[in-house]
Structure 1
């Protein structure tokens, strides 16, 4: 006799495991399946705005870099417009606004090139500071983690951002700010993600 729905046991949780790269970034795992990896080109060659690089590591609770992480990024273009069929006329040719990268298996470093996004109008009519949305998954993470990357040189717009202002402690807000530097004439933003500990990155339940 079939069990009643109310008596069914919860399915055990399972982390992403080492095979996440084979399925989502096979080229990086040594499998030449696609001519072009899905999600590696965020902005495209025709996007307007400042070209930037974003780099970092994902750090565990004891301070060690995690070397098998996959990150996905979503962002608006320099005019603050997300890729959507209804707004295609406001987007540059080839702009996807979405990308996928994995960490270096030896060092744990990750990074991607894109354009700096502009301020975005939120659903409630409040302007949000320039930011990049990140989703993180790896072994040991049962549910993908969502966070945001803001820019250190956008202090004025950051101060008005409703999401940042919704974080009670200013010290916690700082975990979402990527530090700007210059390398060979290009802007490079450093954003290390800490999964646990005193300086744990703010993650969002969405």
Structure 2
């Protein structure tokens, strides 16, 4: 008679971030010393406010002219007007769930329907327990274009503040809450 083994328990993704997803330029969308550059800092927290450690925050953005050096830019790929601009940053969260990205403010850009999107960063969150990345946007306070942004306008007015960065001494702050009260708005992409 053979012994019957139990079912293997389900597992969540990770810990893989420190092994396979590190990027050589890390949090630097632009090099240190770039004119107009700032830090975007925040915390990644769960529904109880506890830090989410060993996660990864990745950003994609247009350059200050609202352009991409990519063939998908409907106006055609064009090298960025800022030396060393990468348009991409990737940073890990630390033991307190903190992340930081060194970047410049993107310019407004056209949306597929002909409207204008306000300056923003597109951010993906990867982490243990997430089987798929979470995608959100970070908008900047005081931008007149925020009121007409076609994506921001689809968000319930009571939740739009979860997509707005706050001014900080060396740039901006933006906390990402995965669930619960004041959960960050995430988009299905």
Query: What is the SS of the residue equivalent to 2:30?
Result: coil
Indicate whether 1:96 and 2:86 are aligned: yes
Instruction: Tell me the residue number matched to 1:32.
Output: none
TM-score normalised over the length of structure 2: 0.85
Asked if the contact 2:119/2:139 (under 8 Å) is kept, the reply is yes
- Candidates 157, 164, 178, aligned match of 1:170: 157
Higher helix share: 1
Alignment pair present for 1:64 and 2:50: yes
Q: Which residue does the alignment assign to 1:78?
A: 64
Please give the per-residue CA displacement for 1:92-123, whole angstroms capped at 9, x wherever unaligned.
4432201111111x221101111111111111
CA distance in 2, matches of 1:140, 1:147: 18
**Counterpart position of 1:118:** 107
Q: Does 1:42 align with 2:42?
A: no
In structure 2, what is the equivalent of residue 204 of structure 1? 187
Query: Secondary structure in 2 aligned to 1:180?
Result: strand
| RMSD (Å) for aligned C-alpha atoms | 2.2
Gapped regions of structure 2 (runs ≥ 5): 1-8
Provide TM-score, normalisation by structure 1. Answer: 0.78
Q: Tell me by how many angstroms 1:161 deviates.
A: 0.5
CA deviation after TM superposition for structure 1 residue 202, in Å: 0.5
Q: Which residue of 2 aligns with 1:53?
A: 39
Change (3 A) 1:89 1:193: closer
Count, aligned residues: 177
User: Residue 4 of structure 2 corresponds to which residue in structure 1?
Assistant: none
Cα distance change of structure 1 residues 190 and 103 upon mapping to structure 2, 3 Å threshold: same
Q: Is the 8 A contact 2:27 2:102 kept in 1?
A: no
Say if 2:132 is the partner of 1:135: no
Structure 1: unaligned runs, 5 residues or longer: 1-11, 27-36
In 1, the alpha carbon distance for the partners of 2:90 and 2:132 equals: 17
1:152 aligns with 2:141: yes
In the other structure, the counterpart of 1:17 is 14
Aligned-pair distance for 1:90?
A: 5.0
1:7 maps to: none
Cross-structure match for 1:107? 96
Aligned to 2:175: 192
**Partner SS, residue 102 of structure 2:** strand
Q: In the TM superposition, what whole-angstrom CA distance separates every residue of 1:103-151 from its partner, at most 9, and x where no partner exists?
A: 11x2211011111111111111110000000000101111110000001
Structure 1 CA distance for aligned equivalents of residues 68 and 34 of structure 2: 12
